[in-house]
Amino acid sequence: MTGAEAETPAPLGLLAELTHRCPLRCPYCSNPLELERRSDELDTATWTRVLSEAAALGVLQVHLSGGEPTARRDLEALVAHCADLGLYSNLITAGVNLPPARLAALAEAGLDHVQLSLQGPEAAGNDRIAGLPGAFHQKLALAGEVRALGLPLTVNCVVHRHNIARLQEVIDLALALGAHRLEIAHAQYYGWALRNRAALMPRRAQVEAAMATLERARTAQAGRLVIDAVVPDYYARLPKPCMGGWGRRSLNVTPSGRVLPCHAAETIPGLTFDNVRSRPLAEIWYQGAAFAAFRGTDWMVEPCRSCERREIDWGGCRCQALALTGRAENADPACHKSRHHAALLELADAESEAEAQGETGTAFVYRGFATPQK
């Protein structure tokens, strides 16, 4: 191992994107605009090898995701392999088209945890955002099956203008479903969500009220429900350490096998992403050019280079810096030290207030999946 490799921590988490197939059509979908086809997905043997390499590399948790991971017929085999390797497996699911018998089979195979997505606290709003009638009631039924099997349950809800005012109802529903954890994350404006930003951006007053609701709930539900929340970047003063720092804590494997430092990394031009079909996972983690590009602090420019937080937030989000400033190397504009910060706040206020005054529509541009699923 080289000196640089010795200084690089082993990853703790692997996001295994098993497929881009999905029954939902969420307007904030963070998957790439160009979805990977079913015919390009890694086969079972390759995924089991990748999981074995991940365990050898030091990964502790595997998040089985998509798309909708239950679209894979070999999911039980992959869960069982995680169990054999001692990897903690978390199923991230939309909660539809998953019969009780199959969930029981996944539990029998060794599944450790279920993370269920909700689009809203009631049927009409949930199903409108999901783009699938009847989805809400399927989700509730699945949550009941998860708890009956004794599996830990996390509820995840992406918030935006159309549901942020109902955050207390989301919290109440998570409690009623018996969830151990609730994850509240504002829509991240990449991929399909960027197309819908004008229809999703909440107003500043809505964000402030939502954060106050969350703080009250954290106090009231301490010891009963863990609540994790991500503040909207567009209204922040400090950037988040995206993915715990580029190439420091976790890695993603796409359905076709490309290995990414973060979910949206392919939006950055000029990066070369290795594939597990042709290179071992450890080599990619320690030696891959895409992982080295923004790992550590050497790549930083001012104000990040001399900032006292440079090894706390690791420069924030490279994909957001690119999308909003034109250069991935720039400071994340969520940071108040960025020269682009004021423009970011103005953009958020302009889009949210324009909708409030009736200057823009609230119709979503829904994701379509027919072509990518062939």
pLDDT along the chain (374 residues), means of 10: 70 97 92 91 98 98 97 98 98 96 98 97 95 96 98 97 95 97 91 88 91 94 93 85 92 97 92 97 97 96 96 94 93 94 87 58 70 32
Answer yes or no: do 258 and 209 share one domain.
no
Q: Is residue 315 part of a domain?
A: yes
Answer yes or no: do 53 and 164 share one domain.
yes
Residue written as token pair 């994350």: 185
Answer yes or no: do 27 and 106 share one domain.
yes
Q: Is residue 19 part of a domain?
A: yes
pLDDT of residue 193: 87
pLDDT of residue 372: 32
pLDDT of residue 350: 83
Answer yes or no: do 108 and 210 share one domain.
yes
Angle at 66 between CA 368 and CA 133, to 5 degrees: 50
The CATH number of residue 33's host domain is: 3.20.20.70
Answer yes or no: do 310 and 208 share one domain.
no
Answer yes or no: do 135 and 283 share one domain.
no
pLDDT of residue 141: 98
Residue written as token pair 């940071």: 335
Angle between helices 204-220 and 167-176 (to 10 degrees): 30
Q: Is residue 329 part of a domain?
A: yes
Q: Is residue 364 part of a domain?
A: no
Q: Is residue 15 part of a domain?
A: yes
pLDDT of residue 236: 85
Residue written as token pair 């350490």: 241
pLDDT of residue 373: 31
pLDDT of residue 60: 98
Q: Which residues form the domain of 203?
A: 10-230
Q: Is residue 372 part of a domain?
A: no
If one counts the domains in the chain, the total is 2
Q: Is residue 4 part of a domain?
A: no
Answer yes or no: do 338 and 217 share one domain.
no
Answer yes or no: do 315 and 255 share one domain.
yes
pLDDT of residue 371: 33
Answer yes or no: do 181 and 307 share one domain.
no
Q: Is residue 370 part of a domain?
A: no
Answer yes or no: do 320 and 185 share one domain.
no
Angle at 268 between CA 264 and CA 269, to 5 degrees: 145
Answer yes or no: do 57 and 181 share one domain.
yes
pTM for the full predicted model: 0.92
Answer yes or no: do 66 and 197 share one domain.
yes
User: Could you give the dihedral angle defined by the CA atoms of residues 206, 208, 213 and 214, in that order, rounded to the nearest 10 degrees?
Assistant: 110
Buried b / exposed e along 191-209 (16+ C-beta atoms within 10 A): bbbbbbbbbbbbbbebbee
